[in-house]
Amino acid sequence: MCENNRGKNIIRSNKLNLYYGDNHALKDISFDIPENRITALIGPSGCGKSTFLKTLNRMNDLVPGVKIEGQVLYKGEDIYGKAVDVTSLRKQIGMVFQKANPFPMSIYDNIAYGPRTHGIRNRAHLDEIVERSLRDAAIWDEVKDRLNKSALGLSGGQQQRICIARALAVEPEVLLMDESTSALDPISTSKIEELAMELKSRYTVIMVTHNMQQALRVSDYTAFFLLGELVEFGDTQTIFSKPADKRTEAYITGRFG
């Protein structure tokens, strides 16, 4: 039933294998990630979900000794292909991390940083981007009177939304979120969850989360990873009400191990 409503896929992982030296961290991962949907990646620590997330915008390239086989197709093109410009890939596939990491500069400059890197200098244009990004990240009203103050003076939840705004400023198509609410209080968490649900009409969101209830609340699709393998992928309601694989059931009901 859901298969029909899934619409287009934006990313295809095809027999993806990743090794950190001798450690085979991702084993033959093959599945399609639907466009304009929220996909949650779940699984115990060390299962490969964050590693997988990072392969989607080539963040693992910098790890010494890493070896990647197979393909990650973004809109049909292999992002590990020779002709791919990693900077422009990361412009299209942005990332927000577990710990908010605003640059030690003003709120305005944090948001304008990306667009400036990509050559935008016109002040009016930058103003427009900064306002739009902050509005999209649901933090404009809280910071519009202090755009020139340091971003480091904001609360954790606000800093995380600044990071989301910074990622949105370069107009990506995909937003990767790596446990982006795990250090936040429930109110900031629900703001970011609401935000993710708002954003999915224009962006594809892929999130790693340890919070099962969060995956249930916000995601349309869930992928369960275990020991470097993709055990099960499907629509979230099915995964959490009648998972097909016993290992998925054991993990989500807290009876793992």
- Would you tell me which residues interact with other proteins (CB under 8 A)? 212-213, 216, 240-243, 248-249, 252-257
74 or 224: whose CB is closer to other proteins? 224
14 or 238: whose CB is closer to other proteins? 238
163 or 215: whose CB is closer to other proteins? 215
Angle between helices 156-168 and 186-199 (to 10 degrees): 20
Least gap, CB of 206 to other proteins (angstroms): 21
30: tokens are: 């093959």
Q: Return the beta strands (E) in 107-241 as ranges.
A: 174-178, 204-208, 221-226, 229-235
Least gap, CB of 239 to other proteins (angstroms): 8
Least gap, CB of 23 to other proteins (angstroms): 26
* 183 within 8 A of 158, measured Cβ to Cβ: no
Cβ-based burial of 257 (10 A; exposed 0-12, middle 13-18, buried ≥19): exposed
Euclidean distance between CA atoms 34 and 23, whole angstroms:
29
Least gap, CB of 177 to other proteins (angstroms): 22
Euclidean distance between CA atoms 73 and 240, whole angstroms:
28
87 or 213: whose CB is closer to other proteins? 213
